[in-house]
Amino acid sequence: MNALFKLTRAISNLSAWPEGRKTLRRDRRQTFFNDYGAEHHLRACIQWLARAQDAVANEGGVSAGWHFRFGWLPPFPETTGYIIPSFFDYAFLSGEDEFHTRAIQLAEWEVKIQKPDGSVRTGFGVSEDSTVFDTGQGLFGFLRAYQETKKDLFLDSAHRAGDWLLTMQDDDGAWRRSTFRAVPHSYNARTAWALSLLGNAVGDARFIQAARANLDWVVAQQDEDGWMKHAAFHPSEDPLTHTMAYTTRGLMEGGLILNEPRYIEAAIRLSTPLRSIATQKEYLAGTYGRGFLPDDSFSCLTGNAQFAIIFFILGKETGDQTWTQAALALNAGLRKTQNLESDLPGIHGGIKGSQPVDGAYSPWAMLNWAVKFLLDSLMLEISHEQSKDLKWGRQG
């Protein structure tokens, strides 16, 4: 955001500033909100995401989030890409056709702003830059939109995104070009997952081979205790649970699609040290360094929601209900951080980047991807409670 944009947004959002100070005081006292159950909080999530879409209706996509100083932020192509499957899932689960329509609108916007080379733009707004990871996340949206509509424009966008990803991949399976900070990241396992879905959808072995090559590279980065190298945004940083979960989910889902137990086993090794922590505390530390050394000064709420999803799926796939109990605990903890009392549309139903709100990950903001992952996890919880197949939230 440029300086003039920030100043204009800050002035227009002055009324929300006191709410930020109030939130910080509440977080520091560890005062939590009431837990009204999965269905009530699910509804709050979907309504927040709808407001985030409407807030940038003149631009398209979904607002990246709501900032306590700047209000609604510009749209975020990366996360809009993987919000599309969530809207389709919610529409099917709830019977509310509005969200089927909203998902198609988002997918059409992603097609419209896709770069001519097939890549997906990175950052907030519509920039000229693109990255491997953001393109992988857009791929989830293109594929699901094609599955739902059978419109060739979505399949064409998916194919072009996949072709671009192949041109960016190195011989060892890693991506180093067009990556954040120009270094390889284990969390691009999530991009490999998207490629495996594309390979199955179009029957093209090139995409399957590329997915396998990357997941093989990711497995080779794992320590004996399960901790994963190259899972952070920056090589000198410890990975957030957010990026650890991107890595874990990519391995797990890729392993299930490709029928490759090694990938699933790697995901279980990475998840196992976190399972008992989640069950006991209802949250995870914000980061975990080598040897799973935690930074407990904050919790990354996005990562909590993502690991809840992973734990639900592992419970289903392995039959080990200790995974499910850990997932339920994380969901319960997240619901207690969701403010359903505020009248401010950006706060009500939102999920913060960090707990406390001034923590190290995306401070002072409600994030669309945090809400998306809680939405998915709550749909999985409801499916579990109703003894239905855990299919919600399984395509992005």
The residue-averaged pLDDT of 125-137 equals 94
The pLDDT, as a whole number, for residue 286 is 98
Q: Closest Cα to residue 260, out of 204, 196, 170, 195? A: 196
Mean pLDDT of all residues belonging to the chain: 94
Q: Which pLDDT score is estimated for 387?
A: 72
Q: What pLDDT, on a 0 to 100 scale, did the predictor assign at position 352?
A: 98
Domain map of the chain by residue range?
23-385
Average pLDDT score over residue span 155-164: 98
3-state secondary structure of 101: helix
Q: Calculate the alpha carbon distances from 91 to 224, 286, 365, 378, 384 in Å.
A: 42, 32, 27, 14, 18
pLDDT value for 14: 55
Residue 5, pLDDT score: 52
pLDDT at 113 over 60: yes
At 394 the pLDDT is 64
Q: What is the pTM of this model?
A: 0.95
In the sheet with 71-72, reading across from the earlier edge strand, the strands are 71-72, 65-67, 365-367
pLDDT at 20: 83
Count the neighbouring beta carbons within 10 Å of the beta carbon of residue 120: 28
User: DSSP letters of 161-189?
Assistant: HHHHHHHHB-TTS-B-TT-GGGS--GGGH
Percentage above 90 pLDDT, the chain: 88
pLDDT category, 270, cuts 50, 70, 90? very high
pLDDT at position 141 over 60: yes
pLDDT at 396: 75
Say what the pLDDT of residue 391 is.
58
Rounded Cα distance, 235 and 183, in Å: 8
For residue 384, what pLDDT band results from cuts at 50, 70 and 90?
A: confident
- Distance of alpha carbon 168 from alpha carbon 166, whole angstroms: 5
Kindly state the tokens that stand for 98: 């509005």
pLDDT at 362 over 90: yes
Query: What integer is the mean pLDDT of 37-60?
Result: 97
Residue 390 has pLDDT above 70, yes or no: no
pLDDT at 323 over 60: yes
* Residue 271 predicted with pLDDT over 80: yes
Task: List phi, psi (to 5°) of 146.
Answer: -65, -45
| Res 256 pLDDT > 70 | yes
Query: Is a pLDDT exceeding 80 seen at residue 187?
Result: yes
Separation CA 396–CA 146 (nearest Å): 14
Domain range 23-385, CATH class: mainly alpha
Percent of the chain with pLDDT over 70: 94
Q: Residue 211 — very low, low, confident or very high, per pLDDT cuts 50/70/90?
A: very high
